[in-house]
A = this chain, B = another copy of it.
Amino acid sequence: MKIGAACRRKLAPLAIHQLLLDNNSYPMLSTSEFQSLCRKHDLAATHQRRVIYDTVMSMHGHPSPELIYDKVKKKIPSISLATVYKNVRTFLESGMLREVSMHHGSLRVEPNEHAHHHLVCVRCKQITDLDPEHLAPVRIKQRPRGFTVTRIAVDVMGVCAACAGKPDAKQF
């Protein structure tokens, strides 16, 4: 079987369940705390948003919108996948949540065989190679148990010169 999107989709729920780390104990927000959090980000505090946010924050791993939808649906059976997508994006844009990787949109090939790292612009998604010289060498102090390390990739994220000039774009 090929490891494609279809396969990944089936693996993800199982795999995430296997090795979870309990380093993300989220203190559930009260209604008024959630309301002021939303006000701070200029968002209406709807029931759906509350449940989506709570669900994500209480999940281990790094859930996809589909996985979030599956969990939220148990609390709000009438919710639609589009609402989950819309709100996840809204949360990302407002800074209430973060994305694991800035470049998930489409496959990107790396022709550069030399050891190097990346400069990633969070606005235009531009990926630029970063000379290893610019970075102090990354060292693993304690080897993760059972994990065979083959490579270390560093993404230095921020805003590139071109985007810094355009103040209209949202920062996320």
Q: Which chain A residues have a beta carbon within 8 Å of chain B's beta carbons?
A: 3, 5, 8-9, 11-12, 15-16, 18-19, 21, 23-24, 26, 56-59, 61-66, 68, 88, 92, 97-101, 103-114, 116, 118-119, 121-131, 133-136, 138-162, 164, 169-170
Contacts and interface: CB of A to CB of B under 8 A. Distances in A.
Contact of A127 (B62, B127, B135): B62
Copy number in this complex?
A: 2
A156 B160 contact: no
Contacts of A138: 135-136, 138, 154
15 contacts: A3-B169, A5-B105, A5-B106, A8-B105, A15-B162, A59-B111, A63-B111, A64-B107, A66-B106, A104-B105, A133-B141, A135-B139, A147-B159, A148-B159, A148-B164
Contact of A157 (B5, B109, B152): B152
A157 to B, nearest CB: 5
* 10 A-B pairs with the lowest CB-CB distances in the bound complex, closest first: A146-B161, A136-B139, A100-B108, A149-B158, A62-B108, A104-B104, A98-B110, A153-B155, A15-B126, A134-B142
